[in-house]
Amino acid sequence: MSLTAQHLDHDDIIYPSATGFVLVHLACLAAFWTGVSALSIGLCLGFYFLRMFAITAGLHRYFSHRAFKTGRVFQFVLAFVAQMSAQAGTIWWAAKHREHHAHSDSPQDVHSPAQHGFLFAHLGWIFHKNHAAADYSSVPDLTRYPEIVWIDRHKYMPAVILAAACFAIDSWTGLVVGFFWSTVLTYHGTFAINSMAHVFGNQRYVTGDDSRNNWLLALITLGEGWHNNHHYYQSSTRQGFYWWEIDVTFYILKALSWVGIVRDLRSPPAEALTGDRLLPRPVIERVARDLASGFQLDHLSAQAQEFLTTEFPGVERSFHALCERGSEARASLEEVLEDIHLPELPTLDALKARARETLAHTPSLDDIAERAREILIETLFDHLQPVEAPA
């Protein structure tokens, strides 16, 4: 089975590995029997904030993107507190996140709403058998620390310790409200970035995916909702690029840098803030393919077919023979197609105009339009069917 097929094969909606996840949610209902105290609400909110910070600053900005530096002691603290959220191990989390950025909103992206549906992107992918394992070879910068490997191996131990602490502080009410409620809130706050931040919001930058900026998600997740910003310049410690984009995680990291706990906080360069940063080739390729996909090729293929068989028989005795000559003949025919004035084949200028209408500002617009034109020609070639040319 191909990788794409594996990712799309999620018809089995009941996953045995999700049992613990479901039980955590059901445990929240025990509050009908334990009651809700002011202390337990304080534990819930406090541990939501603490764990969300450890996820956003630790698992995401530090372990996944290396957006700042710190010592091994605070590095371990970030990993330990983040794993109190019961979202698997630190190394697993970072490896999966780097995989997401490598294939964002493509068929290989394990949590893309556009590819696999909103619910699967939000949480279903976590429990699917095809996504249980992570490629640890992609995170050699993390696996070289034995203490991080150890805590990753004992992925739920910190969460169990936190649950016991909540029970010790406020008995069953503390366990149910302080631990289980805050754990569920932390789950869905984190998951919302995978799902909602790729559906709802605005796109300031061209990123080749569906990432969006969403101010409400930014408040809920301490700054992660500036997701389009992040996808545009992933190594920035600060994800709210402008002063009005609230990014609580960055504010805390900035304060920690003043006392030397963290250092070398990375910021987006001026050209990134203004959108004048040249796009990398993989992003240009993805955006160009999206642009080209907006044009139907059925009529183009028929027109080109008719032209080749009636107007241009001298290219070769048959289109089939031309194809058999391989890549050199293909290049020759593509040059011919470039010169054919087909009414439904958009010109380069038309593609540039479409790009300006549909995309955010980018200095790579011409490159995108030119690549889209190439893709249209290549696809048109592939759509043509071998037919005999007239004698």
Average pLDDT over residues 163-184: 97
Residues 6+ apart with CB under 8 A from 274: none
Provide the pLDDT for residue 26: 96
Provide the pLDDT for residue 314: 52
Window from 46-50, 71-75, 101-105 with minimum mean pLDDT: 101-105
pLDDT > 50? residue 218: yes
Provide the pLDDT for residue 118: 87
Q: Kindly report the pTM of this predicted structure.
A: 0.85
Report residue 316's pLDDT band, with 50, 70 and 90 as the boundaries. very low
Report residue 390's pLDDT band, with 50, 70 and 90 as the boundaries. very low
Find how far residue 131's CA is from the centre of its chain: 15
Provide the pLDDT for residue 5: 41
Average pLDDT over residues 278-284: 90
Q: State what percent of residues in the chain have pLDDT above 70.
A: 80
Provide the pLDDT for residue 303: 65
Provide the pLDDT for residue 128: 75
pLDDT > 70? residue 317: no
pLDDT > 50? residue 8: no
pLDDT > 50? residue 280: yes
Question: What Cα–Cα distance (Å) separates residue 380 from each residue in 168, 190, 368?
Answer: 69, 42, 18
Average pLDDT over residues 333-339: 58
Report residue 325's pLDDT band, with 50, 70 and 90 as the boundaries. low
Provide the pLDDT for residue 19: 84
pLDDT > 60? residue 17: yes
Encoding tokens for residue 168? 């010790």
Orientation of helix 348-358 relative to helix 281-292, angle to 10°: 100
Residues composing the chain: 391
Give 174-205 pLDDT, tens digit per residue: 999 999 999 999 999 999 999 999 999 999 99
Which residues lie across from 388 on neighbouring strands? 318
Distance CA(181)–CA(31), nearest Å, equals 9
Distance CA(368)–CA(359), nearest Å, equals 10
Encoding tokens for residue 177? 């409200």
pLDDT > 80? residue 353: yes
Provide the pLDDT for residue 300: 65
Report residue 227's pLDDT band, with 50, 70 and 90 as the boundaries. very high
Provide the pLDDT for residue 385: 52
Provide the pLDDT for residue 2: 38
Give 127-145 pLDDT, tens digit per residue: 877 677 788 988 999 999 9
Provide the pLDDT for residue 55: 97
Encoding tokens for residue 157? 């131990």
The answer to whether the beta carbons of residues 150 and 76 sit under 8 Å apart is: no
Distance CA(210)–CA(201), nearest Å, equals 10
Residues 6+ apart with CB under 8 A from 72: 145, 147
Long-range contact pairs involving 99-107 (C-beta distance under 8 Å, separation at least 24): 99/134, 99/135, 99/138, 100/194, 101/231, 101/234, 104/207, 104/208, 104/209, 104/211, 104/231, 105/198, 105/208, 105/209, 105/210, 105/211, 106/209, 106/286, 107/3, 107/4, 107/7, 107/8
pLDDT > 80? residue 154: yes
Q: Three-state SS across 249-311? A: HHHHHHHHHHCCCEECCCCCCHHHHCCCCCCCHHHHHHHHHHHHCCCCCHHHHHHHHHHHHHC
HSE-up of 52 (CA within 13 Å, CB side)? Answer: 32
Find how far residue 180's CA is from the centre of its chain: 28
Report residue 336's pLDDT band, with 50, 70 and 90 as the boundaries. low
Domain ranges of the chain: 3-11+19-273, 281-383
Question: What Cα–Cα distance (Å) separates residue 125 from each residue in 13, 129, 188, 212?
Answer: 10, 9, 14, 21
Provide the pLDDT for residue 107: 83
- On average, the pLDDT of the chain sits at 85
Report residue 294's pLDDT band, with 50, 70 and 90 as the boundaries. confident
